[in-house]
Amino acid sequence: MSDPGKMSANERLRHDRLTFYKEDIERIDRLLAEFLRLSGAKCALLIDKEGHLVTRRGEVRTIDMDTISALVAGSFAATKEMARLLGENEFTALYHQGTRDNIQLSLVGDRTLLTILFDDRTTVGMVRLYANETARKLSEIYGEANSRTTPDPQLDRDYGNSARRKLENLFD
């Protein structure tokens, strides 16, 4: 990672925040839909390492997205520490087995986690096979997004003022 002190404003922004754009998310969504079709999994979530949901596809009606995202990120972070103790950098895939539902996690790039929820309609082997392929394609999309030189879209100019008004309303 380059020295934050020597970055341009745009580089600094990419270092300090994670931004996803509509066209990239549309490509990612298509990729996830194809993955679900091929693997037979129920649901695919893309979550950043800080526990924020990036996008999702599949059956997600009964799941609290915010909480599962935070817990998945926490779970992954904890295993990273275990990996470090074993002399590994980090584990790139995790698997949680339940009686009915299971979760498979795969690291994509260095900032996001592909989270697959599946049941006995498919097998862990099928899920892993297609998850690896999907993770590779997702990395390519990230690479293209990062190498883009066009100026990034920005938040609305009124964002700061509007946020402050909302805070006043929420806390008073």
Partner 1 sequence: MVQINFALKEVNCKIVFYGPGMSGKTTNLEIVHQKAPEENKGELTSISTDGDRTLFFDFMPLDLGNVAGMRTKFQLYTVPGQVYYNSTRKLVLQGVDGVIFVADSDAEKLQENIESYENLIENLAEYGKDIRELPHVIQYNKRDHPNAMPVDELDRTLNRFGVPTFEAVAVTGEGVFPTLKVLAGMVLESIDRMDNRRSSASRPAPRAEARAQAAPRAEAPAQSAPAAAPAAGGKRGQAPARPAGSPARRPVAPRGQAGPRPVAQRPSPSRVASSAARRRGGAAHADADQTRGTRTGGGRGVFVAVLSTLFLAAAVAGVVFFVMQNQQG
Structure tokens at 6: 């020597």
130 DSSP assignment: H
Q: Among 35-43, 45-53, 90-98, 113-121, which window interacts with partner 1 (CB under 8 A)?
A: 45-53
Q: How far apart are CA 114 and CA 66, in angstroms?
A: 15
Q: Among 75-83, 94-102, 121-129, 135-143, which window interacts with partner 1 (CB under 8 A)?
A: 75-83
166 binds partner 1 (CB under 8 A): yes
Q: How far apart are the first and last CA of the chain?
A: 42
Question: 57 with 67: CB under 8 angstroms?
Answer: no
Structure tokens at 118: 């599946």
87 binds partner 1 (CB under 8 A): no
Q: How many residues bind partner 1 (CB under 8 A)?
A: 52
Q: How far is the CB of 122 from partner 1 (least distance, A)?
A: 27
Q: Which is closer to partner 1, CB of 120 or CB of 171? A: 171
Question: 111 with 18: CB under 8 angstroms?
Answer: yes
* Tokens 């899920």 found at: 127
Among 30, 59, 67, 129, binds partner 1 (CB under 8 A): 67
> Minimal CA–CA distance to 135: which of 157, 119, 113?
113
Q: Which residues bind partner 1 (CB under 8 A)?
A: 4, 8-10, 12-13, 16-22, 24-26, 48-55, 64, 66-67, 70-71, 74, 77-78, 80-81, 151, 153-164, 166-168, 170-171
